[in-house]
Amino acid sequence: MRDLLLGLDCSTQSFTAVALDAVSLAPVAEAAVNFDRDLPVYGTRGGVLADGPEGEVLAPPLMWVDGLDLVLARLRERVDLGRIRAVAGSAQQHGSVYLRAAAGAALAGLDVARPPARQLIGAFSRTGAPVWLDHSTAADCAALDAALGGPAATAALTGSPACQRFTGPQIRRFARREPAAWADTAQVRLVSSFLASLLLGRLAPSDLGDASGMNLLDLATRTWHGGACAACADDLGDRLGAPVASDAVLGQVAPWLVARHGFAADCRVLAWSGDNPCSATGLGLGADGDAALSLGTSDTLFAYAGARPATPPGGHVFISPDGGHLALLCAANGSLAREAVRDRFRLDWGGFAAALARTPPGNRSRILLPWFRPQEGEPSSAAGVRAVGLAADDADGWCRGVVEGQFLALRRRVTRAGLRLADLRATGGAAANPAILQVAADVFQVPVRRNRVTNTAALGAALRAARADGRPWGDLMAASAPLLDAQVAPTPGSGQALALTAAIFARAAGDG
């Protein structure tokens, strides 16, 4: 009986597999591969190779192929992969894989006796794949924005102004610097659609969710934009293949998966998507106002909106897996800023939380501009760390100041984009700290619930696989409910205290 769904996630540092019960949608087995530790032959650090003086950051696509093979071998030790009805995947967004014409035959002819990576060595016109950490494309972004009428016009068209890590500018840089290798490139795929191609045994299309992280997709028509493609490289549209909906069933698994890993021949493969769209499904974001706050090295806020929202300052709009939209805001000053304040006063996280508990919402109008590093979406005049009304030795005030400052800054960007938040699901390391969640509830004035799942992207991919059986999106969104902790409600009266603090913050941040 085929009673499982499989979700795979190729993130920057690891490959994860999550199997769900196809009826209850509850997780039943997991496996993971860490690229640095488990595949040391590729010599990556944190899953990538920093390569070159201009901010190039690449990863070897063959490492992802080995990662897929290994994570399936590990999962097979826990469950019979023949029970899987359908599989979908998630991958780090923006990275691009450059394939020769020979790639099609190589994918179709994968022989089970040998590891798949070895059979694909000749398939690439570029051995490395630039990933989202790459920031070598300033000139290409400027050229793309100029061709489309400026950053605001690029954002109106594609959902984001030209961004260094986005795939269009990345392709442009490669085509301009290595024209012979570009001429040898028959097809370009995202990390997601490259890995879907392995499952399928032929080139897979990219899905609309991941395609919206390329600066190439016209968000209104949901097709490649001719002008954006032409501004990046010759014949680009043809080399990308038409994008498909995130729940498109692409076909059945390739024979190598049946013979090598024991998949059933009729197991269906869905389009893969980016990790952020997949996380949105894993976190259950499917109604206007549903939003998630991921508190990690950087903090990310994403909010669901059925109708297309404005692009937030320094942010993006992606198409969500169910065909709606997802506004995404990233704040580089996440744990980095919280740790800097914790360390300045020689505290541990317990001490930091106690300081938050001793101080009132609004911090008695004392504020901290928390830009320990430059922050997209904030005016450059606001760069740097600045305390207003806060004494240099006031440890409690600084602890609350940094967290309130981070969330107030995000709230301003949310408001400017006209987004309305109804509730927040928190994930990431710092979400384990209830005192920080209380500050989020007070600043955003919405209930906050922590989601206990660590890999929401793999979970979201596994849930998307249920679409192969036509399972309604509502069922998939509801599946995350048992994984949420009790809600943290806003402190009574905190709205007023924070309104005053927010006004002082806005003035100090250069809003006039």
Question: Which residues lie near ligand XUL (CB under 6 A)?
Answer: 12, 92-94, 132, 165, 213, 274-276
Q: Report the residue number, 59 or 199, with the smaller CB distance to ligand XUL.
A: 59
Q: Where are the beta strands (DSSP E) in 35-167?
A: 49-50, 57-59, 84-91, 96-99, 129-130
Provide the phi-psi class of 25: left if phi over 0, else alpha when psi is between -120 and 50, else beta.
Answer: left
Q: Least Å distance between CB 42 and ligand XUL?
A: 18
Q: Report the residue number, 182 or 318, with the smaller CB distance to ligand XUL.
A: 318
Q: Residue 307: is it exposed, middle or buried by C-beta count within 10 angstroms (0-12/13-18/19+)? A: exposed
Q: What are 8's strand-pairing partners?
A: 17, 89
What is the β-pairing status of strands 129-130 and 57-59? Answer: antiparallel
Q: Is 223 helix (H, G, I), strand (E, B) or coil?
A: strand
Q: Least Å distance between CB 94 and ligand XUL?
A: 5
- CB count in 10 Å sphere of residue 342: 20
* CA nearest to 167, candidates 98, 111, 214: 214
Q: Least Å distance between CB 226 and ligand XUL?
A: 24
Q: Residue 17: is it exposed, middle or buried by C-beta count within 10 angstroms (0-12/13-18/19+)? A: buried
Round to whole Å and give the CA distance between 329 and 308.
15
Contacts of 320 (CB under 8 A, 6+ apart): 209, 246, 277, 280, 281, 285, 286, 304, 326
Round to whole Å and give the CA distance between 222 and 80.
38
Contacts of 499 (CB under 8 A, 6+ apart): none
Chain position whose Cβ is nearest to ligand XUL: 93
Q: Least Å distance between CB 271 and ligand XUL?
A: 16
Q: Report the residue number, 213 or 460, with the smaller CB distance to ligand XUL.
A: 213
Please, what's the b/e burial string for 381-404 (b: 16 or more CB within 10 A of its CB; e: otherwise)? ebeebebbbbeeebbbbbbbbbbb
Q: Is 440 helix (H, G, I), strand (E, B) or coil?
A: helix
Q: Report the residue number, 208 or 249, with the smaller CB distance to ligand XUL.
A: 208
Q: Report the residue number, 93 or 137, with the smaller CB distance to ligand XUL.
A: 93
Q: Report the residue number, 321 or 401, with the smaller CB distance to ligand XUL.
A: 321
Q: Report the residue number, 135 or 202, with the smaller CB distance to ligand XUL.
A: 135
Q: Least Å distance between CB 133 and ligand XUL?
A: 8
Q: Report the residue number, 205 or 274, with the smaller CB distance to ligand XUL.
A: 274
Q: Least Å distance between CB 414 and ligand XUL?
A: 17
Q: Least Å distance between CB 504 and ligand XUL?
A: 31
Q: Least Å distance between CB 35 and ligand XUL?
A: 14
Nearest-10 crossing angle of helices 494-508, 395-416: 80
Q: Least Å distance between CB 166 and ligand XUL?
A: 8
Q: 480 is written with which tokens?
A: 């995350």
Q: Report the residue number, 30 or 134, with the smaller CB distance to ligand XUL.
A: 134
